Structure 1
């Protein structure tokens, strides 16, 4: 049974990846926008790094996680779009008539969305290196950033898949992921926590999981191996994945029940 689930998941994941590659314009715009923001942030805001609070840190390394997280929100939404497309063309209903694992039917698009984000993150980091990015912890630090990006992408893909299964509507699925964009700006997006003036914004940043994602990435990019911040980021991802994948699983169960 276990082998069957993994085999079905692999086959459905590969199918979703091939579908995405046939239509590259489904992910290229999001990649271009994330890289563009990185260029704009670095060119327009890098002077902030001269403030004493930054202690001479490279602003490019500080802002890189913002581009990665924004790519996660846009890119992982492809999981939901793929499910809606399968529902609309009848492929989802045909899958339900096969012996394929119901869990695999949901996990396939989610994993494909996560892998799509992995490729996007690697390309964004490459752009960062072309702009002069320096990573304090070297290659292992880059691997940790990729690990965090994969986890965050998995969480968003789970949410996107859940919304798609609930609504069975492409526009609703796409709109559902947009509500997460405010999370980016209610965080330590452009400046450290100490430079946030408004008290309400400090409170929002404290309870915002995106803050801990940013800080975990920045710790390895700028400060070195700060394990307390790294663990906070990992915990934030673990909680988010548990919530969103459970949401996707419950939504899939109801979708299967409705046929």
Structure 2
């Protein structure tokens, strides 16, 4: 009965979050636009550097595509935290705690809605990339790997976003806190491979940056095919980050429930 209640309550709250999202499309359209901007502008403006020997003839569209997808993951999953903040500020969260709803479902609902939003954004970005001439070395299976990696990163960010929202209970503070993920995108192998980064501090930052391993795992299936080393490294890093951020969100939720 407990598991059945969790599934039903999670579905109801996920559906509510999706309805709110659909009714307010401008909460996700700017993020999708920015992600497509990365794809179109940088493919057109920087594609010439793929002629360098370090690229080994790789298509720059496939190289830059992960940047567009990851930026969508950051913005899309951040909606989970923003949704909770709106509920906290409106008083809906407090009223929800007075009902028999399963407490875990309160956190899972907006998180799953954020994942579904991210899934649709990723599919749209990949569709645009195919129209631009994308060729995936690993085939359809590689496309699925890219989607799963994006969802995994989105889950990691959603956990952080939810934890921050429950901790601050303030929309401005929560939004400002999520901006930390955007510097992580650019302190990585965003535009060129690691061996082309000349500044030693930037190379060190890229080496310890988890986003680098996410980029490399996506680029492996897009450019090289089933090269398991980078793929497994990306999965391991995403799993570790997910464990940390989701644990933080669960702890923050327990404290919020106790205070309410």
TM-score bracket for the superposition, by shorter chain length: over 0.9
- For residues 71 and 95 of structure 1, the distance between their equivalents in structure 2, rounded to whole angstroms, comes to 30
- 1:237 paired residue number: 238
Matches within 5 A, 1:219-238: 219-238=220-239
- Per-residue Cα deviation, 1:166-189 (whole angstroms, up to 9, x for no partner): 111111111111011111111111
Q: Deviations over 1:132-186 (max 9, x none)?
A: 1111111111010000000001111111111111111111111111011111111
Unpaired runs of 5+ residues, structure 1, are none
Structure 2, unaligned runs of 5 or more: none
Q: Deviations over 1:51-72 (max 9, x none)?
A: 0111110000000000111111
Q: Which residue matches 2:213?
A: 212
CA distance in 2, matches of 1:31, 1:210: 19
Across the two proteins, how many residue pairs are aligned to each other?
259
Question: Which runs of at least 4 in structure 1 moved beyond 2 Å after TM superposition?
Answer: none
Task: Determine the structure 2 residue equivalent to 1:201.
Answer: 202
Residue in 1 that maps onto 2:257: 256
Deviations 1:172-224 (A, max 9, x none): 11111101111111111100111111121111111110000000000000000
Q: RMSD across aligned C-alpha pairs, in angstroms?
A: 0.8
- The structural deviation recorded for 1:248 is 0.7
Deviates more, 1:199-208 or 1:27-36: 199-208
Alignment-derived partner of residue 160 in structure 1: 161
What TM-score results when the alignment is normalised by the length of structure 2?
Answer: 0.98
Name the TM-score, length of structure 1 as normaliser.
0.98
- Give the drift of 1:16: 0.6
1:143 aligns with 2:144: yes
Alpha-carbon distance, 1:256 to partner: 0.9
Q: What's the offset of the Cα at 1:228?
A: 1.1
